[in-house]
Structure 1
Amino acid sequence: MSEELEGKHGVQSLEVGMGILKAMVFGKRSMMLKDIAAAADMPPSKAHRYLVSLIRSGLVEQDPLTSRYNLGPFALNIGLVAIDRLDRIRLGLTAISELRDAVNETTALAVWGDNGPVIVRWERPRRPITVNVVTGTTLGLLSSAVGRVFGAWLPPAQIKSILRRELDTRKNLPPGVETQEDAEALLAEVRNQGIAVISGNYMFRGVEAVAAPVFNFKNELTMSIVLVGVEGSIDMSAESPVIARLKDAAHSLSQRLGSTREAPGPC
């Protein structure tokens, strides 16, 4: 077999070994041999042979008391190095650029700042009339789609002071939100829907937006992707292909950052 052909075929035994590691990663806990074999779709005897080699390499370890297998110290080192080299903002910028090209709407990326969610970059669509988003803008927690995403998935203690301030000053509060209980119900609905949608009654007249959460390897909220448009320009229905694209983009970015959360369902 030529080197070129061999390179295209790869090393099958390595791919099988990676299949076992993937089964253990998605198992989210230490596992018995039979469970690993079932998840990797192979006989236990075959899985055991591969596990012996993976243990020797440090990628897997076995608890002598329970006989369960778990990821080993070298697997942990690989993960830590990968996380250290991962530039979440760079990946996020690529994601909003690709989403803008797919849906031809203004897209933006937001992260959590000292005083709330902050826009770090936006991409202009190819439309004669667009909505501009100012980089560095701090958005309201309850009055913006991005803010509602952070309010819905960040720990309550992290948003407590900002939420209290917005309720006390009553600036740009959404219709029907008067109390802490009202705000919590609004954010619970965002979690239930998997996205935050504002169409009409937005903080800026004639503008609508829909935002989705992006999670990291700890399955914690790390960023938000948002679509912003002139009111009536974005299909906000449950079957909207534009919102489906947004959800897919946010989920794909979450996976790239190591999240194991399931893909969101339809609205």
Structure 2
Amino acid sequence: MAEKDDEARSGGGEIQAVDRVAQILRLFGPETPELTAGEAAERLDLNRTTVYRYCTSLVASGLLERGSSPGTFVPGALLLQLGAFGLGRRRVVDLAPAHMRELCSLTGLTTVLSLWGSTGPIVTRVEEDATRTVVVTVRVGTQLTLTAAQTKIFLAHMSDQLQVDRLVGSLPGDQRIKLTEEIRALTGTDHVAMSPDGFGVHAMAAPVFDEYGICASLALVATDDLLPLEPDSTTAGHLRSTARTLSKAMGGDVQLRR
């Protein structure tokens, strides 16, 4: 049969397995909340035994669970968790622009929204003050460095301490000690993080929370004369206030020390 030939390909087993998993998971939806391995095999034109083997493996991984009816499968806790996370990321990208435009207009500074990628924040959206002759900006898709203000915000509020320790531990001694101290001071607060780039550009960032914890960082970027690194400044206050408002819109209910 076709699937036997596919599985027998040398070097292609992992890719074929991922494709099969994706095909099975795509069958679930509002009209198909649960199904049997036989039903999945019929819809995908695959061998029933092969599909059952995949389904039982997906149950073991948490991507599927046994359904209420005998022989059925339903989306598992891990799949639901990943879906909720993905929806949360999409939701903050949808909700943030209006808040970012207001902050940009209020401060006259470039406003940046970043989401956490695999090893650091990724710039996801940028709002610029078009009235200024000179604008400091950041390209969407840029992965920020470990010492960036936005990165400090994420590291201070991430629940995966092992990942934090691994990332911070990759820095040289003096940088590692300094960053660790800054993270410790930010943990449990919604205080702003700050960072100069060494070339006359400053950044200031604040955390955005949803019901699961930190979901984004909101930052202001400008030249050092327009954005002094003063945590108690009016500009910092505007940034914190906007981040809190966006967090509230995201359903964030994080108790922080002031």
TM-score (norm 2): 0.59
> Aligned partners of 1:106, 1:203: CA distance in 2, in Å?
15
Q: Alignment RMSD, CA only?
A: 2.5
Correspondence for 2:8: none
> Within 5 Å, which residues of 2 pair with 1:106-185?
106-125=110-129, 126-141=131-146, 143-155=147-159, 156-165=161-170, 167=171, 170=172, 176-179=174-177, 182-185=178-181
1:178–1:111 CA distance, 2 compared to 1 (3 A): closer
Q: Secondary structure at the match of 1:135?
A: coil
How far did residue 116 of structure 1 move? Answer: 0.7
Q: 1:211 aligns with which of 181, 205, 209?
A: 205
Deviation at 1:264, TM superposition (A): 6.9
Q: Determine what percentage of the aligned residue pairs are the same residue.
A: 25
Using structure 1 for the length normalisation, give the TM-score: 0.57
Please list every run of 5 or more consecutive structure 1 residues that lacks an aligned counterpart in the other structure.
1-79
Q: Secondary structure of the equivalent of 1:87? A: helix
The 1:129/1:148 distance shift into structure 2, 3 A limit, reads same
1:63-86 Cα offsets, whole Å, 9 max, x none, are xxxxxxxxxxxxxxxxx9xx7897
Give the distance between the partners of 1:104 and 1:228, measured in 2 at CA: 10
Q: State the partner residue of 1:100.
A: 104
**Number of equivalences:** 170
Q: Does 1:196 align with 2:193?
A: yes
Match of 2:219 in 1: 226
Structure 2: which 5+ residue stretches go unaligned? 1-83
Matched with 1:247 is 240
Q: Which runs of 4+ in 1 moved over 6 A?
A: 83-86
Task: Say if 1:247 and 1:264, in contact at 8 Å, map to a contact too.
Answer: no
Q: Does 1:258 align with 2:229?
A: no
1:21-70 deviation digits (Å, cap 9, x = unpaired):
xxxxxxxxxxxxxxxxxxxxxxxxxxxxxxxxxxxxxxxxxxxxxxxxxx
